[in-house]
């Protein structure tokens, strides 16, 4: 009989955007016919000295095909676990899927607010499937 994977409780401690680069051609930016290319990459980081903490780092690139808008962003989410992190936890689907899924709404909100405050039509990132990133 198969036993379910043990899931450790995690908590988001902090979310920070560390790098943003944005280019806007205001005259062409709001062209509704121009498609937006979206690239989202993420990776997990574990520090052996911080055996109860780990991070998820995102690299996001957005670009309108008419080159009227481009944005690159780097952000990091810091998580805490209730139990020490072991190799099983590092390899688990739980940490690889749930951690980025918990942090992603913060990126969506940041980009939406940034573009709104920049005076262009708000950019709303589509949903992202962290269980199968190739479907995005």
For 78-87, how does the pLDDT look when each residue is reduced to its tens digit (9 = 90+)?
Answer: 999 999 999 9
Number of domains in the chain: 1
For 94-122, how does the pLDDT look when each residue is reduced to its tens digit (9 = 90+)?
Answer: 899 999 999 999 999 999 999 999 888 88
**In the predicted model, is pLDDT for residue 6 greater than 60?**
no
C-alpha distances in angstroms, 133 versus 23, 50, 59?
A: 26, 28, 14
Domain membership of residue 46 (yes or no) is yes
Q: Which helix (H) or strand (E) holds 62?
A: strand 53-64
**Whole-angstrom Cα distance, residue 98 to residue 119?**
33
CATH of the domain at 41: 3.10.420.10
Query: pTM (2 decimals)?
Result: 0.85
Averaged pLDDT of the chain: 88
**Whole-angstrom Cα distance, residue 136 to residue 79?**
25
**In the predicted model, is pLDDT for residue 28 greater than 80?**
no
Domain membership of residue 133 (yes or no) is no
pLDDT at 3: 53
pLDDT at 29: 66
Beta-carbon-side half-sphere exposure of residue 62 (alpha carbons within 13 Å)? 25
Which two three-digit tokens encode residue 130?
A: 């962290």
Could you tell me which residues come within 8 angstroms of residue 44 by beta carbon, excluding any fewer than 6 positions away? 54, 55, 56, 90, 95, 96, 99
Domain membership of residue 26 (yes or no) is yes
Average of per-residue pLDDT across 50-68: 93
Pure H helices in the chain = 26-29, 87-91, 93, 99-117
Confidence of residue 4 (pLDDT cuts 50, 70, 90): low
Domain that holds residue 78: 10-122
**In the predicted model, is pLDDT for residue 32 greater than 80?**
no
Asked if 21 contacts 72 with a C-beta cutoff of 8 angstroms, the reply is: yes
Domain membership of residue 27 (yes or no) is yes
């Amino acid at each position: 009989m198969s036993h379910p994977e043990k899931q450790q409780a995690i908590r988001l401690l902090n979310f920070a955007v560390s790098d943003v680069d944005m280019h806007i051609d205001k005259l062409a930016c709001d062209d509704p016919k121009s498609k937006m290319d979206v690239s989202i990459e993420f990776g997990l980081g574990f520090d052996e000295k911080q055996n109860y903490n780990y991070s998820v780092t995102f690299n996001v690139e957005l670009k309108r095909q008419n080159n009227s808008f481009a944005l690159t962003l780097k952000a990091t989410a810091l998580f805490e676990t209730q139990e020490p992190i072991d190799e099983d936890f590092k390899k688990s689907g739980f940490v690889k899927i749930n951690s980025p899924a918990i942090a992603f709404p913060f990126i969506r909100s940041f980009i939406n607010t940034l573009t709104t405050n920049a005076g262009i039509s708000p950019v709303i990132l589509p949903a992202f499937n962290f269980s199968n990133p190739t479907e995005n």
